[in-house]
């Protein structure tokens, strides 16, 4: 009996060690720190949320490789963070133009939080579909993003995206309608006038295009980067 108890105890310890080692081995090497990624004056992230926030900072700086490393490591810490999948999905788009993996990540983000962030996940996935020339799928996602948007600014951005898809599809009247909505929603943003001017040019309405381009230049001059 004593020998049996010993065997059971040893087996339990062995199983615990195997499970523990397996869990430890499942976590990949931290490529973020290995590749020297950092944000000046910011502490090194530790939690998944901190890695995602760091990744978003890299995105704003167009540092897509470090964005990927940060959000990829966040996912290794937890596979339930929708923002981490959204962040990594956008990194795939800009870093390697890997539309397939980017779409997979954005689809995961939507499954985790289908109504979150005012539809931004749908708009982000729509941009990936558009980058992959899947225009009907892009339009469907943009429309869903528009439904979930609750602020004037977000609606304006999505309307501009919708106008761009219709323009690519050659549906000029629908493109112009969406672009004009974007101008009304974002009257102080130069890019909406430039985008509508492009549609006017394709429609042969050069005077209207010139007016929009002048307006865009005026706004650029008022708000130089």
Q: Where are the domains of the chain?
A: 29-150, 170-225
Q: Could you tell me the fold of the domain covering 170-225?
A: 1.25.40
**Could you tell me which of 55, 62, 99, 61 has the C-alpha nearest to residue 81?**
55
Q: How many CB atoms lie within 10 A of CB 118?
A: 16
What average pLDDT is seen over the chain?
88
Judge whether 163 and 195 are in contact, CB under 8 Å. Answer: yes
Q: Which of 66, 85, 63 is CA-nearest to residue 74?
A: 85
**Range from 1-15, 56-70, 136-150, 211-225 carrying the lowest mean pLDDT:** 1-15
Intrachain domains 29-150 and 170-225 with the same fold: yes
pLDDT for position 2: 47
The CATH-assigned architecture of domain 29-150 is: Alpha Horseshoe (1.25)
Residues in Cβ contact with 97 at an 8 Å cutoff, skipping those fewer than 6 apart: 131
Q: Residue 55 in contact with residue 67, Cβ under 8 Å? A: yes
Residue 23 has pLDDT above 70, yes or no: no
Record the pTM.
Answer: 0.81
102-144 per-position pLDDT tens digit: 999 999 999 998 776 567 899 999 999 999 999 999 999 999 9
């Amino acid at each position: 009996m004593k020998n049996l108890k010993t065997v059971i105890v040893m087996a339990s310890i062995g199983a615990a060690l195997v499970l523990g080692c397996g869990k430890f081995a499942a976590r990949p090497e931290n490529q973020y720190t290995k590749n020297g990624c950092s944000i000046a004056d910011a502490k090194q992230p530790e939690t998944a949320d901190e890695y995602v926030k760091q990744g978003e900072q890299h995105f704003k700086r167009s540092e897509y490789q470090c964005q990927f490393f940060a959000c990829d490591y966040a996912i290794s810490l937890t596979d339930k963070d929708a923002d981490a999948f959204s962040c990594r999905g956008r990194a795939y788009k800009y870093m390697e133009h890997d539309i397939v993996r980017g779409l997979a990540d954005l689809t995961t983000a939507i499954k985790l939080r289908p109504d979150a962030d005012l539809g931004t996940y749908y708009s982000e996935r729509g941009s990936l579909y558009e980058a992959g020339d899947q225009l009907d799928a892009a339009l469907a996602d943009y429309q869903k993003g528009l439904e979930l948007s609750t602020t004037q600014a977000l609606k304006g951005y999505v309307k501009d995206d919708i106008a761009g898809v219709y323009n690519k599809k050659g549906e000029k009247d629908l493109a112009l309608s969406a672009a004009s909505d974007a101008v009304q929603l974002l009257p102080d943003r130069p890019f909406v006038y430039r985008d509508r001017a492009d549609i006017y040019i394709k429609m042969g309405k050069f005077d209207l295009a010139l007016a929009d381009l002048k307006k865009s230049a005026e706004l650029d001059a008022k708000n130089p980067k």
